Each structure stands twice: as structure tokens, then as C-alpha cells.
Amino acid sequence: MSISLETMLQLCIILPLLATVGIAATGRNSNLREGVTIVTSLVVLYLVINLYLGLKAGEKITVQWWELLPGLQISFSIEPLGMIFALIASFLWLITTVYSIGYMRAHHEKNQTRFYICFAIAISSVMGIAFSGNLFTLFIFYEILTLSTYPLVTHAGTEKAKRGGRIYLGILLSTSVAFFLLAIVGTWFVAGTLEFTPGGVFDSTVNTTVAGILLVLFIFGIGKAAIMPFHRWLPAAMVAPTPVSALLHAVAVVKAGVFTVLKVCVFIFGIDLLQILPSTQFLLYLAGASVLLASLVAMRQDNLKARLAYSTVSQLGYITIGALLASSVGIIGGSMHIAMHAFGKITLFFCAGAILVAAHKSNISEMRGIGRQMPITMVAFFIASLSIIGVPPAGGSWSKWFLLMGTMEAAQWILMVVLMISSLLNIAYLLPIPLRAFFPGRGVVDNGAGIREAPLPSLIALCVTAAGSVALFIYPQPLYKLATAILDISGMVHDK
Amino acid sequence: MLAHLPVLQVLIPLMAAPLCLFLRRPYLAWIFTLIVSGLTFLISIILLQQVMTSGSIVYAMGGWEGPWGIEYRIDKLSAFLLLIITAMSTVILCAAHTSIRKEIPKNRQIYFYILYLFSLTGMLGIVSTGDVFNVFVFLEISSLSAYALIALGEDRRALWAAYQYLIMGTIGATFILIGIGLMYQMTGTLNMDDLARRLPEVAQTRTVFVAFVFFTVGVCLKLALFPLHLWLPNAYAYAPSIVTAFLAATATKIAIYLLIRFTFSVFGLSFSFTTLPLQTLFVVLGLVGIFVASTAAIYQKNVKHLFAYSSVAQVGYMIVGYSMGTTIGLMATLLHLFNHALMKSALFLALGAVMYRIGSVQLSGFQGLGRQMPFTMAAIVAGGLSLIGVPLTVGFVSKWYLVLASVENGWWPVAVLILLGSLLTIIYIWRIVEVAYFKDPIVGSEPAKEAPLAFLIPIWLLVGANFYFGVDTRLSIQVAQAASQSLFGVSP
Amino acid sequence: MMILGLYNYWIVVVLMMIGLYIVIAHGNLVKKTVGLNIFQTSVFIFYISLGKVDGGSAPILAEGVNLYSNPLPHVLILTAIVVSLATTALGLAIVVRIKEAYGSIEEEKIQMEDNKEC
């Protein structure tokens, strides 16, 4: 191909935006319209894979756009962590589009054109976040992501959707304006640069108290990582249609959050600085508490999407812990968990949506015995649960293993116990669902007549992602290589 | 010709105003006013270019040299403000004909244009002149025409608002006059440059001190700094929409210009900030203004009132930037002058479009408007996002510099408070968004059509400028920075 | 002695305070306008009294006169008087319109009318 890698990078961001014009123009004809989205996502996936191959071959791909403010450029640069994020986001966009086709049509949703347009803008901003070369660029796309997902969350247009949207926007915008922006300005003032630099931007003379405060501001400010107490937006956003919950809240929005946390920890602060900051320990415990509390709350939820939402809060805590542990293995675990959790959670959400559309059920207590009518869905659910719990043969086992190793390497015994207890809790709140679906036990099972399997496109989608979880278990090498490459460029030591 | 530009800038609208009387029809008056405003805009561009390349321009009226004669002095700060005022005036005028057709009775429409031109003259005069008493004269010209413009509003509360504004504004202007008199008494000159040279010797006398206080209080009344802002919400809410858009974009900016000009170029930075605890006073009043006004905005039922209170809050931001006494703080204030003019003019013009179509700007009337007037509502959302300070809009640029200036000054609590103020902005903007997009139109009401092009074009021009200058910030930042630095360099 | 010698300033201050008091304390709109006028007049007196030079004559060129009072404040005040005139005229015009619209020129009645509407 004669297109340079730099152009490919820019196309990844620009193409989805151009697609919005196409989607708007073909709004009347739903097949054409979906065709535009699918073609665009295929092209973007192709471009991202090319970029990955280029990165693997050792190319340095950077693009500078213009200088927005003196000294602050909008610039992009590809590094392994961003590559992981971009790969899963672009791949899962394609899958989710396929799923959405099945879901939205079966559910006779209105305003589908608006839905696909906002989806495209959201993906464009995700690409922008993944490839951002400095904190300033990341912030810009971070805010665009918040704003473009608001119409998706409030898609239904009902009072409930409005209230959910209010909490969603309120928490995300407040945290980003009050804390994140302040932290960015503070970093700019103290360090003089916002470029993502291996080893961090602060030099050795930085005041650890100031840096510690900045770290706290960052962690609270990156609301998309859903660290308690700023996690309320996640369950509130469940008023969105399931494809939205699936992609955005299992993959794009929340992963943007923890991706930002990882990037800030590795490329703004640097592992060495993190180890000596006074606030790191406090934040670690906060993340650990988030993991446990969210799991406990999840257990008490009867609404399936709500349970999955709290489970996501808990799993995000894992990645944050991985970032803050300031250990190389922790970083590997956190990065890999971005991918593992993405595949696992998206499958779970797909299944939840399928059950909603095919059986009109949203509460777990009503789903006993449903495995008979929806076997494929529930098997996929089962596999994905294994991934979340962290048990072979699902990919999540690798990332959980590394995270556990990370806590040991950093001598954070309390966190190690937290992670182990949490895994037990994961079993408690996830496994009963597929098990009860297949083995309803005693008691009347009234599932109503006429429940079929999920619509075909949706079924294909969730099978692909479930298979992906298994594939990542069997063949984790590319992911592992990317994760360790992060450490390589940061100059950290790790075992191969 | 070029040498006379400083005075032509002011003279052209002044002469044009009474000429409108000869044009019997409002349509002709509109075209004429538009051309005049466009001319002033061109002149301001040329002046800005000249000033940026070759430094300040000094023009002696009638050839009488200062300090005895009246001088017109255009430096970077003045040129920047001239650009803002004339640009806003021209763009807003594009929608004037359509807007006042429904809001002002036909027999009074000519007067609107006359008063508009007088107001424009006054504002341009304040910014261009280098003579202290001239400032007072032009201030009164612009204020009186503003009072009359507001009184043209349909609602009878406009009359009451105009009267209140008249009383408070005149008291403010008279305070300024007292200040000028006291300054004259101590130095014997009315020329700003000369005053700057003579004041330091007599600076420690009680007279000069009192002069400074009177002057500052008078200007703060015109600024609508909390708690002297009481005239603003009603005046903005009940005036004709075009008048609100114009005043919101320009009137308070002029007052801030006066404040900056006098504290930096006449009294001098060290005097101004050390004699009175001005820094503390302004930072506190500015912050309180931000919070009180933003909170008041949240509870308003009339959307024009809402944005009027928002303007009071934004003035608070500008004062906070000014109070820091650093180059970058002043730069943030100047940037916000520019950016706020862009934001508020777009918002109030959009409200004017809503008023034109549905005849009211009550929040309850906005139900379902998102679907019926999509472009207008989109403009309001865009303006709102700019007020909140979302990246890629102009609002973000000013916020960034305000926070950066506070952090560099070591004023971390102020930085936090500035950002918290933005959160309040999110609340009141989102109230409008929710009503417009989530509620169905009122049952039985006629569906509103989209605003006419006469509105949409200037509105989207301004919204486009909001985004354009939020992305290509070179013009605003360079001029603001140059102006700020030159002001700091000049002060003794 | 200084106090008596500064009698012009005392008059200025007293008039200023009377004017401001009337504006604030009275509810009748015409009375407010009058108060505003008194306030402005005090400032005029202030300026003019500034210009008087001890032993100086009126500022008109004449033979044999060496010391003149300062003519500049007079000029300034002429301008200011015109401004004040315009303000008063505008203010009274608005009062007339308010009377037509509200039926009263008392501040309290007007606010009551407005509150009824809300």
C-alpha cells in the first residue's frame, strides 16, 4: 500500500467522522446505512492492524497536528499500550455494529441514524485517545468522548434516560473539569511538558507532596475509570440500549478511563516516582476497596445489567491497582486485563441484550431455565464469566495471574488478599446465572412460550467474542508481547 | 486618510446616526447602519495591523497637541477592543432587521438604528481616546443610548429596567466624574499620558487616594461586578433581543477596558495594587460573583435572565484574572473579553431567534424546541459548551489560561474555585438542553418553524467563530499577550 | 479656620449626600430623578469651585488683568451639565412611559404590579 503509516494513523481518527456524513445521508435506507458503518469499521480495523504490524517492525509512528495553545500541540504517537487499546476498540466496533443490527431492529428502536452517528464519533474519539501523543490531546478527545456518548446513553429519551444521562454527564464532566483539568494544568506548570515520556515527565527534583497531590487529582479526575466514589455514572448509564452498554461501557468509555490511568502512571509519573509518592498507597487501598465493595454490591443486584455494571466497576479497580502497584508485572497484568476484560464483558452484555430482546427479561430471578431455549447464548455467558473470574480456559486467567504476581512483587499483601477474595465474589455473582439457566433446580420454571434464541446477527457477535476470550487464553503471546513492550520502552526490567 | 483613521473610527458612526433620520424606511436604515458598522470594522482591522507592527498610534484632535489638546491613543489593548466591538456590532446587525420587526413597533424602528449608532460611537470613543474627560463624555453617550435602547423593549418591565439602569448608571458615571475632577485638581491635566507622569509625585495624598476609589467604584458599577450588578439581569432580559446581544457582547467589556486602562496606564500598577488591598478585594468579589450569579442562573425561569446572570458570573472570571497582577493573569482576562463576546453574542442572538418564532423566552416554552428549531438549539448547545469550557471551543482557551495564571501565581484555591464555577455552568446549561430535547412540545401549541436565515447566518457565523478561535488560537493569544505585556512594560 | 475656608467642599459633600439619599430613600420616580440632579449638581459645584483662583478674575482676556481663574473646569462642567440635562430628559421620558404602562410612578406599586405578573 502506498499510504504511509502516518496517514493511516490520521485516517483512523478521521474516517469514522467522515462516516457520520455517510450515515446521515443514507439514513432512510437502513441497510445502506448499516453498510456504511460496517465498511468503515472494516477499513479502520485494517488500518489499525497495519499500524500494529508497523509498530511490531520497530517503526516510530508520530503525527503532529497544529499547536492549539503556545507550547501545546495536538499530536499523536503510537506505543504498545495505545496499540492494545486501538486493536480491541476497532475490532469490537465491528462486532458491536453487527450485534446492534440484530438488536436495534428486533427491538424496533427509534432514532437509529442518530445512534450510529454518535457511535462513529465516539469511536473516532477513542482512536484519538489511544493514539494521543501528549496529555493535552488525550484530554481533548476524552471530553469529546463524554459528550458524544451522552446522546447514546439517553437514547430512549424517557424521564429515566434523562436522569441517567444527568448522572452520567454530571459525574464525568465534573470530575474531568474539576480534577483532571486541574491536574493537567498543574503538571504543565510543574514539569513544563505534557508529552508522554517513558520514565515520566517529572525530573528527580520534583516535590513529592506536590506530585502526590497531582496523582490524587488524576485518579479522581479520570472519572471514566470509575474509582469509588465517582463510580455512580456506570450503573446510571445502564439506561442505555444494550449495544451502547456493551461497546462503550465494557470497552470504549471505561477502557479509555483505565487506559488513561495506565498512561498517566507509566508515561507521566513513571514507575520510579510512583513508588515513592505518599499518596500511592492510599490510592491503592481506595482501588482495592472499590474492587471489593463493587463486587459486594453486584451480588445484591437482581437486574442483570446492573450486576454487570457493578462488576465492571470492580474489574476496573483491578486495572487501576495494576497501574498503581508500580511494579512491572502489575503493568503487564493491567494492560492485558484491558483486553481480556473487554472481550469477557462485551460477551456478557451481548448476552444480556439478547435475553432482553428474545425473552423480554432483564432480571436474573426470571432467567432460571432459560438455557433450554437459549443454549448458545448461555454457553457464551458461561465462558465469558470464566474469563471475568479468571479461570482457564478463558483469557482472563492470564491477566489475573499477572495482577496477583504484581501484588506479590510489590509486597502488597493486603491487596493480594483483596484480589483473591474478589475472585471468589466474582464466582458468587456470575456463575449462578448460567448454571441456573441450564439447571433450574426445583420449583416451577415459567419462561413463557415462544422464546427463541437471540436474533442471528447478535448471536454471531456474541459467539465471536466468546471465542475471542478462549482464543486469548490459548494464544496470548501477541498481547503479552505488546504489554511487555510497554515496559521495554519505559526502560523497565521484566522476565520474558 | 490613513493618518486620520483613529478619529474616523469614532466620527463615522457619530455622523451617520442623525443621517438615519432622512431614511424614511427602516429597511434602508438597516442597510445604512450595516454599511457603517462594516466600515468601522474595516477601520479597526487596519488599526490593529498598524499597531501590531509599528506600535501605538497617537492622533491629536484638530491638530492641537497634547497634553493641552485631546489626543486619541490607540495601543494594542485599544486596537484589540476596537476589533471586538466592531466585529460583534456588524455580525449582530445582520439579524437586526428581522428581529426588531417583531419586537419594536414600526414607527420606532428608525430610532433603534439611530440609538444603535450612537451607542457604537460611544463605545468606540471610550476605547480610542487618550483624554480622561473625553472618556466620561463618550461613556455617557453610550450609556444614554443604551438606556433608551433598552426602553424600546416590548414588555413594560423594560421601562422599569431602563429606569433602574439609568439611575445606577448615572451614579456610576458621576462617581467617575468625581474621580476625574479630583485627579485634575491634583495634577492639572486631563491627558492620560500626562497624568501617568504627574500622578506619582502626588500619589500619596488622600485626594488621589479618594480619586482612585471613586473612579474604581464607578467603573465597577458599569462592569456589573458583584454586588453592583443589580441592574444587569433585568436590563438584559427585557431589552429587545438585538440590544441584549449587542450590550452583552460589548458594554461590560468597555468597563473592564476602562478599569485596566486606568489602573495600568494612569495610576500605575504599583499604586493601584498596593494602596488599596485591591487584589484581595477583587479576587474575593470576583469569586463570590461567579458563585452567586451562577447559582442564581440555575433557578431562573426566563432564559434571557439565565444568561444575564451568566454574564455577571463571566465578568467575575475576568476580574479574577485581572486581580492577579501578572502578565499571564491579565492575558487571561483579555482572552476572556474576546471569547466571552463571541459566546454571549451567539447565545443571545439564538435566543432572539427563539423569541422571533415563539414570542417568549420562558424556559417552559422551550419544550420540544430541539426538534422544531434544530439549528437554533444546536447553536445554543454549542454556545453553552463554550461557556462550560469544553476543549476545542474558545471558552476552554480562556479557562485554561485563567487556571494556569492562578497556578503560576501560587493561588491554588482560586484555581479550584474557578473550575468549580464551571460545574455550576454545566448545571444551568443542561437545564435548557433537557427541556429542549427531552420534553415533548406543549400540547395544542403551534409548532415553531426553524429561524429565518437572517438569524441563522449570523448565529452560525458566531458559533463557527467560537470553534474556529478555539482551534486556531493564534490571533487572540498573540494580541492578548502583546497587549498584556505592553501594559506591564509601560506601568511605572 | 481650615474648616471654614473649605466651605465649598462642605457644600459639595452635603449636596451630594442629600442627592444620594433622595435617590435611595424615595419611591417616587420623579423625586428620584430630582435627587439624581442634586447629586450631579454637587459635582458641578465641586468642579467650578476648583477652578477659582484666589484673587483671580473671570477668565476673559482684558487689559490690565494678570491673574485669571481657570477656565477649563467651566468648560468641563458645561459639557457635564448637558449630559445631566440629557439624562434627566431621558429619565423623565421613561417615567412618563412607566406611568402609561403601570398607572403609577411609585416604586412600590410598580414592583407590586410586576410581582403579580410573575
pLDDT for B471-481, tens place per residue? Answer: 888 888 888 88
Grid coordinates representing A310 are: 457493578
B23 pLDDT band (50/70/90 cuts)? Answer: confident
Which of B339-348, B367-376, B463-472 has the weakest average pLDDT? B367-376
When comparing pLDDT for B146 and B358, which is higher? B146
The verdict on a CB contact (< 8 Å) between A188 and B473 is: no
Is residue C61 included in any domain, yes or no?
no
Residue C12 pLDDT more than 80? Answer: yes
Give B-chain residues touching A66 at CB under 8 angstroms. 471-472
The verdict on a CB contact (< 8 Å) between C23 and B171 is: yes
Interface of B with C (CB under 8 A): 133, 136-137, 140, 144, 147-148, 151, 156-157, 159-160, 162-163, 166-167, 170-171, 174, 177-178, 181, 184-185, 190
The verdict on a CB contact (< 8 Å) between A140 and B388 is: no
Contact of A141 with A128, CB cutoff 8 Å: yes
The verdict on a CB contact (< 8 Å) between A139 and B391 is: yes
Is residue C59 included in any domain, yes or no?
no
Give B-chain residues touching A173 at CB under 8 angstroms. 388, 423, 426
Chains with ≥3 CB–CB distances under 8 Å to B? A, C
Which residue in chain B is spatially nearest to A140 when comparing CA positions?
A: B391
Q: Residue C75: how many CA atoms within 13 Å on its side-chain side?
A: 8
Report CA-CA distances (Å) from B161 to B234, B289, B320, C68, C118.
Answer: 5, 21, 28, 46, 15
Give B-chain residues touching C48 at CB under 8 angstroms. none
Which residue in chain A is spatially nearest to B413 when comparing CA positions?
A: A182
The verdict on a CB contact (< 8 Å) between B171 and C39 is: yes
Number of domains in chain C: 1
The verdict on a CB contact (< 8 Å) between B423 and A173 is: yes
Query: What are φ and ψ of residue B225, in 5° steps?
Result: -75, 135
Which residue in chain C is spatially nearest to B139 when comparing CA positions?
A: C83
Is residue C30 included in any domain, yes or no?
yes
Give C-chain residues touching B185 at CB under 8 angstroms. 50
* The pLDDT value given to residue B1: 66
Query: What are φ and ψ of residue C11, in 5° steps?
Result: -60, -45
Separation CA B450–CA B189 (nearest Å): 56
Residue B331 pLDDT more than 80? Answer: yes
Which residue in chain B is spatially nearest to A160 when comparing CA positions?
A: B438
* The pLDDT value given to residue C8: 84
* The pLDDT value given to residue B492: 31
B416 reaches A (C-beta below 8 A) = yes
> Number of residue pairs across A and B with CB atoms under 8 Å?
65
> Number of residue pairs across B and C with CB atoms under 8 Å?
68
Helix C107-117 to helix C72-102 angle (10° resolution) is 50
The verdict on a CB contact (< 8 Å) between B167 and C32 is: yes
The verdict on a CB contact (< 8 Å) between A185 and B404 is: yes
CA distance C60 to chain B (A): 19
Which residue in chain C is spatially nearest to B186 when comparing CA positions?
A: C50
- A touches C, CB cut-off 8 Å, minimum 3 pairs: no
When comparing pLDDT for B30 and A478, which is higher? B30
The answer for B367, left when phi > 0, alpha when psi is -120 to 50, beta otherwise, is beta
User: Which of C72, C87, C102 lies closest to B170 in CB terms?
Assistant: C87
Contact of A197 with A489, CB cutoff 8 Å: no
A428 reaches B (C-beta below 8 A) = no
Report CA-CA distances (Å) from C72 to B133, B188, C7, C40.
Answer: 11, 10, 22, 18
Which residue in chain A is spatially nearest to B481 when comparing CA positions?
A: A70
Contact of A254 with A225, CB cutoff 8 Å: yes
Which residue in chain C is spatially nearest to B302 when comparing CA positions?
A: C118
Per-residue pLDDT tens digits for B234-262: 999 999 999 999 999 999 899 999 999 98
Separation CA B486–CA A272 (nearest Å): 44
Grid coordinates representing A164 are: 441517567
Average pLDDT for B460-477: 89
Residue A476 pLDDT more than 70? Answer: yes
Radius of gyration of chain C (CA): 20
User: Which of B419, B426, B471 lies closest to A182 in CB terms?
Assistant: B419
Residues 6 or more apart in contact with residue A472 via CB below 8 angstroms: A339, A340, A343, A395, A398, A479
Average pLDDT for A379-407: 84
* The pLDDT value given to residue B491: 39
User: Which of B162, B174, B184 lies closest to C94 in CB terms?
Assistant: B162
Residues 6 or more apart in contact with residue A299 via CB below 8 angstroms: A307, A425, A428, A429
User: Which of B140, B148, B163 lies closest to C95 in CB terms?
Assistant: B163
* The pLDDT value given to residue B347: 93
Give B-chain residues touching C79 at CB under 8 angstroms. 133, 137
Is residue C48 included in any domain, yes or no?
yes
Which residue in chain C is spatially nearest to B173 when comparing CA positions?
A: C40
CA distance B210 to chain A (A): 39
The answer for A442, left when phi > 0, alpha when psi is -120 to 50, beta otherwise, is beta
CA distance C43 to chain B (A): 7
Q: Which of B118, B165, B174, B360 to mutate to test the interface with C (most CBs of C within 10 A)?
A: B174
A167 reaches B (C-beta below 8 A) = no
Give B-chain residues touching C114 at CB under 8 angstroms. 157, 160
Give A-chain residues touching B390 at CB under 8 angstroms. 143, 147
Separation CA A204–CA A272 (nearest Å): 10
Average pLDDT for A283-312: 88
Is residue C62 included in any domain, yes or no?
no
DSSP code of residue A303: B
Q: B449-454: which pairs have CB atoms within 8 A and are 24 or more residues apart?
A: B449/B357, B449/B372, B449/B373, B450/B357, B450/B372, B450/B373, B450/B374, B450/B375, B450/B376, B451/B350, B451/B353, B451/B354, B451/B356, B451/B357, B451/B373, B451/B375, B451/B376, B452/B98, B452/B353, B452/B356, B454/B94, B454/B95, B454/B97, B454/B98
Residue A401 pLDDT more than 80? Answer: yes
The verdict on a CB contact (< 8 Å) between B171 and C83 is: no
CA dihedral defined by A22, A27, A29, A35, rounded to 10 degrees? Answer: 40
Q: Which of B339, B392, B472 to mutate to test the interface with A (most CBs of A within 10 A)?
A: B392
The verdict on a CB contact (< 8 Å) between B419 and A70 is: no
- B touches A, CB cut-off 8 Å, minimum 3 pairs: yes
Q: List the domain range (segments joined by +) for residue B15.
A: 2-490
Average pLDDT for A382-410: 83
Residue B82 pLDDT more than 90? Answer: yes
Peptide bond into A70 cis (omega under 30): no
Separation CA B58–CA B130 (nearest Å): 9
The verdict on a CB contact (< 8 Å) between B426 and A169 is: yes
Separation CA B183–CA B369 (nearest Å): 54
Identify residue A94 by its one-letter amino acid code. Answer: L
A113 reaches B (C-beta below 8 A) = no
Q: Which residues lie across from B302 on neighbouring strands?
A: B362
CA distance B472 to chain A (A): 6
Contact of B324 with B411, CB cutoff 8 Å: yes
Separation CA B172–CA A468 (nearest Å): 72
CA distance B120 to chain C (A): 17
Residue B33 pLDDT more than 90? Answer: yes
A2 pLDDT band (50/70/90 cuts)? Answer: low
Per-residue pLDDT tens digits for A333-366: 888 888 888 888 888 888 888 888 777 878 887 7
Separation CA A39–CA A61 (nearest Å): 25
Note which residues in 137-166 of chain A have CB less than 8 A from chain B. Answer: 139-140, 143-144, 147, 154, 157, 159, 161-162, 166
Per-residue pLDDT tens digits for A212-230: 888 899 989 898 888 888 8
Which of A244-258, A295-309, B178-192, B221-235 has the weakest average pLDDT? A244-258
The verdict on a CB contact (< 8 Å) between C97 and B160 is: no
Chains with ≥3 CB–CB distances under 8 Å to C? B
Identify residue A340 by its one-letter amino acid code. Answer: M
Give B-chain residues touching A175 at CB under 8 angstroms. none
Q: List the domain range (segments joined by +) for residue C42.
A: 7-53+68-117
Average pLDDT for A437-466: 72
Mean pLDDT of chain B: 89
Radius of gyration of chain B (CA): 21
The verdict on a CB contact (< 8 Å) between A185 and B420 is: no
